[in-house]
Amino acid sequence: MKNDFNILTGKILNLNFPSIVDSMETEGKIVPYGYSSGTYARLNPVLNQVALLPQQQEIDALGPGIGRADWEKRFELVYQTALHQDVKAVMGVTPVILSFARFISKKHRKKPKDLWKFKALFCTSVRKIHFRYAPVLKSYFNEVPVIEMYTATEGVYGQQLDDFPYICFNYDKYLFEVETGRGLKMLHDLKRGEWGRLIVSSCLFPRYDIGDMVESMGKNYFRIFGRAKALHILEHRLYRLLYGWLL
């Protein structure tokens, strides 16, 4: 997919969360708010020739719920809206993308790869995307690149840039530090195999402990291996103990 800009001429399935969940009053005005993925989709509906199907306003019109019935209504809307369109990619939270594929297969007896010619899947929000989710996703969407995105409410911190299943960080927008077992280090100074708790700074927030654990894979490649929870850290220590010689 590298240097293939044809994807920008097609449609992208919109599997984002609703951008309007509730509202609050601020400075005498009623301001709606919702999930960050839906908000981005609503504020940036078109990039050059790229278009989301359906538009975020249509997603929002189905209501703010995120239960099973709510998602099934959204999935059916996506299916009906995009059925005969030139869809090139899908973008969203990885488990939601997989749930959409299973919904289509169960209700319409078709896999997404039978309906559209995908160029890529842009997946976010969970760990182990390439090792746990990618093989299953490819069975539904065909053997297309699975591109990992590292996003949060505050912005897009990094993304996968090539065939390696690791991400590269956006140093032009953020300052990244890592709290390691040997003290604080700049992210770009980490050696292969070093890991710790990620701290992000920007013009909006200084030294934000985002709560994620990052590991350097060398040559400016990284992986987010989990939240900063005892179970994930223990799992990582055991993994390095057993398979560290392979890294």
Q: Is the pLDDT of residue 45 over 60?
A: no
If one compares 26 and 167, the residue with the highest pLDDT of the two is 167
More confident residue, 2 or 84: 84
Tokens for 69, please give them: 């019935």
User: Rounded to an integer, what distance in angstroms lies between the CA atom of residue 228 and that of residue 189?
Assistant: 21
What pLDDT shows up at residue 204?
Answer: 82
Mean pLDDT score, 186-202: 96
Which parts of the chain are beta strand (E)? 11-14, 22-26, 29-33, 46-47, 50-53, 87-93, 120-124, 146-152, 155-159, 168-169, 175-180, 183-186, 195-201, 208-218, 221-227
Distance separating alpha carbons of residues 175 and 166, to the nearest angstrom: 19
**Nearest to 40, CA basis, from 52, 29, 25, 49:** 52
pLDDT 10s digits, 135-183: 999 999 999 999 999 988 788 899 999 989 999 999 999 999 999 999 9
Q: Work out the mean pLDDT of the chain and round it to a whole number.
A: 90
Q: Report the Cα–Cα distance between both ends of the chain, in Å, rounded.
A: 27
Say if residue 54 is preceded by a cis peptide, omega within 30 of 0: yes
Is residue 165 classed as helix, strand or coil in its secondary structure? coil
